Structure 1
Amino acid sequence: MKNVRLNLASGLAGALALILILFSGTAAAPVKAAEAVQADDYLIVSLGDSITAGYEPGMTETSVPYGFVDRLKEQGLFHGRTSAVNYGILGLTSEGLKNYITAIQAGSPVTATDIQANVPDPRMASFASGITQAKANLQKADLITITIGGNDLLRLLPDVKNISLEQLRAQSEEVLKAYGNNLREVVRILTELNPSAQILIADQYQPVPKLAGESIYDELQQLAGKFTAIVDGIVADHANQAKLVKAAHVAAAFTGREISLTHIFSDTDIHPNQAGYEVIAKIFAETVWGSFRTTTAKTGGAPISVVVKGNELNTPYPPILKNGQTFVAIKDITDAVGAISKWDTRSSTATITYGSRTVVIPVGSKQIEVDGAPAATATPAFLQKVGKENKTYVPLALLVQGLGLDVQYSGKMKTVFINEI
Structure 2
Amino acid sequence: MLSKWRRILAASTSSMLLLSVLIGVGAGSANAADTSITQDASQDVFRIVALGDSITAGYEPGMTDVNTKPYGYAERLLEQGWYHGRSELTNYGILGLTTAGLRNYTGAIKDGSAITAEGIQSGLPDPRIDQFVKLTPQIASELKEADLITITIGGNDVSRLFLQVKELTDTDFESQLEQKLADYNTNVKASLENIRAINPQATIILADQYQPAPKIALGAMYTKLMTAAAKFTDSADRVAASMNQEGAKVVVAHVAAKFAGSEGSLTHIIGAGQADFHPTQLGYETIAKVFAELQWGEYRIPTVAAMATDTVPMSIVVKGVELNTPNKPILKNGQNFLALKDILNAVGANGKWDNKTSSATIEYGGRTVVITIGSKFIKVNGQNVAIDTPAFLQKVGKEDKTYLPLAALATGLGFDVNYSSKLRTAFINP
Distance change (3 Å), C-alpha of 1:153 and 1:332: same
Among 217, 234, 240, the alignment partner of 2:239 is 234
| RMSD (Å) for aligned C-alpha atoms | 2.1
Among 238, 250, 260, the alignment partner of 2:255 is 250
| Residue 171 (str. 1) matches residue 171 (str. 2) | no
| Contiguous gaps of at least 5 residues in structure 2 | 30-38
State the one-letter code of the partner of 2:336: T
| Residue 54 (str. 1) matches residue 44 (str. 2) | no
- Secondary structure in 1 matching 2:59: coil
| Residue 127 (str. 1) matches residue 132 (str. 2) | yes
| Residue 276 (str. 1) matches residue 283 (str. 2) | yes
For the residues of structure 2 that align with 1:161 and 1:210, how far apart are their CA atoms?
A: 15
TM-score normalized with structure 2 length: 0.90
State the one-letter code of the partner of 1:275: L
- What is the CA-CA distance between 1:324 and the residue it aligns to? 3.0
2:102 maps to what in 1? Answer: 97
For the residues of structure 2 that align with 1:200 and 1:418, how far apart are their CA atoms?
A: 26
Distance change (3 Å), C-alpha of 1:159 and 1:215: closer
| Residue 401 (str. 1) matches residue 414 (str. 2) | no
State the one-letter code of the partner of 2:368: T
1:217 maps to what in 2? Answer: 222
Distance change (3 Å), C-alpha of 1:83 and 1:126: same
- What is the CA-CA distance between 1:42 and the residue it aligns to? 0.6
State the one-letter code of the partner of 1:279: T
1:347 maps to what in 2? Answer: 357
Equivalences for 1:5-24 in 2 at 5 Å? 8=1, 10=2, 15=5, 18-19=8-9, 22-23=12-13
State the one-letter code of the partner of 2:78: K
Q: Does the CA contact (< 8 Å) of 1:48 and 1:89 recur in 2?
A: yes
2:308 maps to what in 1? Answer: 300
- Secondary structure in 2 matching 1:333: helix
Q: Does the CA contact (< 8 Å) of 2:11 and 2:275 recur in 1?
A: no
Distance change (3 Å), C-alpha of 1:273 and 1:137: same
Distance change (3 Å), C-alpha of 1:239 and 1:180: same
State the one-letter code of the partner of 1:208: A
Distance change (3 Å), C-alpha of 1:43 and 1:101: same
Q: Does the CA contact (< 8 Å) of 1:43 and 1:140 recur in 2?
A: yes
State the one-letter code of the partner of 2:51: L
For the residues of structure 2 that align with 1:183 and 1:85, how far apart are their CA atoms?
A: 21
Q: Does the CA contact (< 8 Å) of 2:9 and 2:163 recur in 1?
A: no
State the one-letter code of the partner of 1:417: F
1:201 maps to what in 2? Answer: 206
For the residues of structure 2 that align with 1:387 and 1:126, how far apart are their CA atoms?
A: 58
Q: Does the CA contact (< 8 Å) of 1:329 and 1:394 recur in 2?
A: yes
Q: Quick one: percent identity of the two aligned structures?
A: 51
For the residues of structure 1 that align with 2:108 and 2:248, how far apart are their CA atoms?
A: 26
- What is the CA-CA distance between 1:277 and the residue it aligns to? 0.5
- Secondary structure in 2 matching 1:113: helix
- What is the CA-CA distance between 1:215 and the residue it aligns to? 2.2
Among 355, 372, 375, the alignment partner of 1:362 is 372
1:5 maps to what in 2? Answer: none
2:328 maps to what in 1? Answer: 318
For the residues of structure 2 that align with 1:38 and 1:357, how far apart are their CA atoms?
A: 13
Equivalences for 1:7-86 in 2 at 5 Å? 8=1, 10=2, 15=5, 18-19=8-9, 22-23=12-13, 25=15, 26-29=17-20, 30-32=22-24, 34-35=27-28, 39=41, 40-60=44-64, 61-86=66-91
- What is the CA-CA distance between 1:35 and the residue it aligns to? 2.4
For the residues of structure 1 that align with 2:89 and 2:350, how far apart are their CA atoms?
A: 33
Q: Does the CA contact (< 8 Å) of 1:250 and 1:280 recur in 2?
A: yes
Distance change (3 Å), C-alpha of 1:174 and 1:372: same
2:123 maps to what in 1? Answer: 118
For the residues of structure 1 that align with 2:92 and 2:314, how far apart are their CA atoms?
A: 30
Distance change (3 Å), C-alpha of 1:382 and 1:98: same
State the one-letter code of the partner of 2:321: N
CA deviations on 1:124-146 (whole Å, 9 max, x unpaired) are 00001110000000000000000
Among 328, 340, 356, the alignment partner of 1:330 is 340
- What is the CA-CA distance between 1:38 and the residue it aligns to? 6.3
For the residues of structure 2 that align with 1:64 and 1:349, how far apart are their CA atoms?
A: 41
- Secondary structure in 2 matching 1:369: strand
| Contiguous gaps of at least 5 residues in structure 1 | 1-7
For the residues of structure 2 that align with 1:213 and 1:93, how far apart are their CA atoms?
A: 24
